[in-house]
Amino acid sequence: MRVVLPTITIIFAIKYHYPDGRLVWAGADYQALQYLQQVLNFRAEVVHSPDRQWGGLVDKKTNRFNGMIGMVQRGVCAATNCIKCTVL
């Protein structure tokens, strides 16, 4: 399962790239995802929105969203933790 998380602040999720090549994730969202993977017995790949947006309506005619919401809408990801009020 592919899951998209925000990289806005350490509170959500952030990845650290160390000089030796290690990649380490931290933050509350990532910890919650780790817990869910363990309890529900599934594996997730964490990705980020290329446009670094949470998700907003970009085309009212087609109901197309950008950002993390758009990634779920297009089937690129199965889930996101993005909670945001959007005026349609």
Domains located in the chain, CATH noted: 2-80 (3.40.190.10)
What's the first-to-final CA gap in the chain, in angstroms?
Answer: 29
Q: What is the pLDDT along the chain (88 residues), one digit of tens a residue?
A: 777 766 554 455 666 777 887 777 777 777 888 888 899 898 888 787 888 888 889 999 999 999 888 999 999 888 877 554 444 4
Give the global pTM. 0.67
Q: Which residue has the tokens 């290690």?
A: 22
Residues facing residue 34 across a β-bridge = none
Is residue 53 within 8 Å of residue 66, measured between CB atoms?
Answer: yes
Cβ-contact 67, 53 below 8 angstroms = yes
